[in-house]
Amino acid sequence: MLIQLIVSLAIGGVCGFAANKLMKGRTDSILRNVILGVVGGIVGGWLGSLLGIGGGWVTSILLAIGGSCLVVWVCNKVFK
């Protein structure tokens, strides 16, 4: 259980970092990247389930990066 949480946070941080670089986010804070990655993973997973997309690790990571990009875009628009 604890290992899953740590792995999820690590993957969320990597996905948040990737989304931040792709979308040219404002800061490079590790905490912000982890939060954006985790929230983006939730958003991406939700959108993937709506579209019927899902499966393995690669799909989950791509959905998390896509969701993180969406979250970064919204944050950039809201907090301009």
Q: What is the pLDDT along the chain (80 residues), one digit of tens a residue?
A: 788 778 878 888 888 888 888 887 666 677 887 888 888 888 888 888 888 887 788 888 888 888 888 988 888 888 77
CB 41 within 8 A of CB 11: yes
Q: How far is residue 53's CA from residue 71's CA, in Å, rounded to a whole number?
A: 19
Q: What is the pLDDT of residue 40?
A: 86
Q: Collapsing DSSP states into helix, strand and coil, what is residue 1?
A: coil
Cα–Cα nearest to 25, from 60, 66, 68: 68
Q: What is the pLDDT of residue 18?
A: 86
Q: Considering all CA atoms of the chain, what is the largest pairwise distance in Å, rounded to the nearest integer?
A: 38
Q: What is the pLDDT of residue 38?
A: 87
Q: What is the pLDDT of residue 27?
A: 64
Question: Tokens at residue 63, please?
Answer: 């959905």
